[in-house]
Amino acid sequence: MHPPEDALPGKCIVCFSRGKLRRYAGRITWLRASICPACHSRQAEPLSFILLLISMNGGPDACADVAAGVVSYSAPRYVGWDDIRVLYHEQIGDMLSLIEAELGPDYAAAIRTGRPQRMH
Ligand SMILES: [Zn+2]
């Protein structure tokens, strides 16, 4: 039996809080995860995924037209596109280094150079 929508286990995929979670149904359509009511109501998306999507889409300038309305969470607060642009430049280097160390240079190169996969 599946648990009811408001009693999913684990943590919110966006802010990592526990408690009343529902099934995530945001723009990352293939992601099976849980989300809390606060993040759900803001249509917030997981920061790490957003940063990788921006990288795959050629960087902030190249995808500003489709990503400008994105909301995410960087403790202790929700962040919009202006903050996400700053966080991208602060964090993407370390994220790609980690991916390269864990998964190999091909993965990191694919994310770094971009694939023809637009955010939508
Ligand atoms: Zn949350």
Q: For the chain, which residues make up each domain, given as ranges?
A: 1-39, 46-114
Q: How far is the CA of 31 from the centre of ligand 1 (A)?
A: 15
Q: How far is the CA of 1 from the centre of ligand 1 (A)?
A: 25
Q: How far is the CA of 46 from the centre of ligand 1 (A)?
A: 9
Question: Does 5 have pLDDT greater than 80?
Answer: no
Q: How far apart (Å, rounded) are the C-alpha atoms in residues 20 and 60? A: 33
Q: How far apart (Å, rounded) are the C-alpha atoms in residues 32 and 72? A: 17
What single DSSP character describes residue 71? E
Position 119 scores a pLDDT of: 47
Which pTM does this prediction carry? 0.81
Q: How far is the CA of 43 from the centre of ligand 1 (A)?
A: 10
Average pLDDT, the chain: 86
CB neighbours of residue 64 within 10 Å = 13
Q: Are strands 34-35 and 22-23 parallel, antiparallel or unpaired?
A: antiparallel
Instruction: Give 8's pLDDT tier (boundaries 50, 70, 90).
Output: low
Task: Please identify every residue whose CB atom is under 5 Å from ligand 1, which is an ion.
Answer: 12, 14-15, 36, 39
Instruction: Give 57's pLDDT tier (boundaries 50, 70, 90).
Output: confident
Q: How far is the CA of 30 from the centre of ligand 1 (A)?
A: 18
Among residues 112, 116, 101, 106, the alpha carbon closest in space to that of 52 is found at 112
